[in-house]
Amino acid sequence: MPEHTFKLNGKPVTVDTEDNVRLLWVIRDLLGVTGPKYGCGINVCKACTCHINGKAFNPCSVQVSDVGPDDEITTIEGLADTVESDLHPMQEAWLDHDVVQCGYCQPGQIMAAVATVRKARDEGRELSDADIEGIRNVCRCGTYFRIREAIKDGATRM
C-alpha cells in the first residue's frame, strides 16, 4: 500500500493506505484523532472542518494523496497550539457565550469561525454579518444565535 506523509497538529505523520481514502478517515479511523466529526461525507454539513496551511477545508472531500509532507493539517485538537496557549481565543469565546449544546458540530464551527475571521483580515477588513451568514456549518441543535455572538467576540480577541 502507498505511504502518505503530512503534518498533523504540528507533527509529521505517515500512514499506509490507498491513495483515494479521504483525509477525514485517515485522521479519524487510522490516526485516532476524533475531533473532526462526520455529518455528511459530501462537503455539506461542515462538521469535519479542519485547517490546511491555515485555511478551513473539509477533509471528507480530499483524498489523502492530495496532501504532501509540507502540508500542515490542524484539527480542533491542535488549534490552541497554533497560538501557543491552552485555548485559542475563539474557544474561549465559545465557552464565555456557552455556545455548546450537544457539541457535535462545535469543533467544525470553531475551525470555520477562526478561518472566517482570518480571511476577512487578510482581505484587509473586519468581520461582517455577511461573512457570518456565509458560514455553511449546520448546527441541528440550533446554537446559531450564540455562534454569531461568539464569533464576533472571538474576533476581537484574535
Partner 1 sequence: MPAHRADPAEPDAVSPDTSFSKEPTSRRRFLGYLLAAPTLVAAAELGGGTGFGAPAANAAETGAGVPPSPQLADSYDLTDALVHAARPTANLITITLDENGHAHFELHRTEVGQGINTTVAMLIAEEMDLPLDHVHVTLADARPELMTNQLTGGSSSVSSIYYPVRTAAAIAKGKLLEAASLVLGEQANFLSSKLGVITSRAGRSVSYGDLATKAASDSTKQVEANLKAESDFAIVGKPTRRIDALDAVTGRKQFTTDLDVPGAKPTMVCRPPTINGTPQSVTNAEQVRRMPGITDVVTISSGVAVRGETYGQCIDAVNALDVKWSPGPVDGESDATVEQKLKDATPPAVIPPTPATKTLERQFTFAFVNGSALGVNAAIADVKPDSAEIWSTLKIPIAAQQNIAQALGMATNQVTVHVVSGGGSFGRALFHDAALEAAEISQKIGKPVRLMWHRADDCRQGRVHPMSVGTIRASFNGDVVSFEQHLASVRTDFSHGLGDAVSSTVARELPGVSYTVSEAIFALTTPSLYNFGITKTLLTETHQSPENNRPRGGFNTGSTRNVYSPDVVTTRELFVDELAEKMGMDPYDFRRKYVKNESLLKVLDKAAEVGGYGKSTPDGVGHGIALHHEYKQTMACFVELDCRPETVNRKVRDGVTGPRVTRGVLVTIPGHIVINPLGLEAMMQGGFIDGFAQALTASVHLNNGRIAEASWDNFFYCRQWNLPFEFTPVVLPAEESEIPAGAGEMGVAPSFAATACAYRAATGKTPTHFPINHNDPLPFEPYPHEPPLPPSPTNGLDYAY
Question: Minimal distance in Å, beta carbon 122 to ligand FES?
Answer: 23
Q: Which three cell numbers stand for residue 137?
A: 456549518
Question: Minimal distance in Å, beta carbon 12 to partner 1?
Answer: 20
Which residue, among 86, 82, 70, 72, has the nearest Cα to 114 in the 3D structure?
Answer: 82
Nearer to partner 1, 12 or 102 (CB): 102
Q: What single-letter DSSP state applies at residue 30?
A: I
- Placement of cell 485555511 in the chain: 55
Q: Which three cell numbers stand for residue 50?
A: 479542519
127 phi, psi to nearest 5 deg: -60, 135
Chain positions 37 to 76 lying near ligand FES, rule: CB under 6 A, are: 38-41, 43-48, 58, 60
Question: Minimal distance in Å, beta carbon 102 to ligand FES?
Answer: 3
Do 107 and 76 contact (CB within 8 A), yes or no?
Answer: yes
Nearer to ligand FES, 32 or 142 (CB): 142
Chain positions 87 to 146 lying near ligand FES, rule: CB under 6 A, are: 100-106, 139-141, 143
- From the list partner 1, ligand FES, none, pick the one residue 155 interacts with, judged by a Cβ distance below 5 to 8 Å according to partner type: none
Nearer to ligand FES, 4 or 37 (CB): 37
Q: Which three cell numbers stand for residue 32?
A: 485516532
> 51 forms bridges with which residues in the sheet?
56, 74
- Placement of cell 485516532 in the chain: 32
Do 17 and 30 contact (CB within 8 A), yes or no?
Answer: yes
- Which of 4, 6, 74, 94 forms a contact with partner 1 (CB under 8 A)? 94
Footprint on this chain of ligand FES (rule: CB under 6 A): 38-41, 43-48, 58, 60, 100-106, 139-141, 143
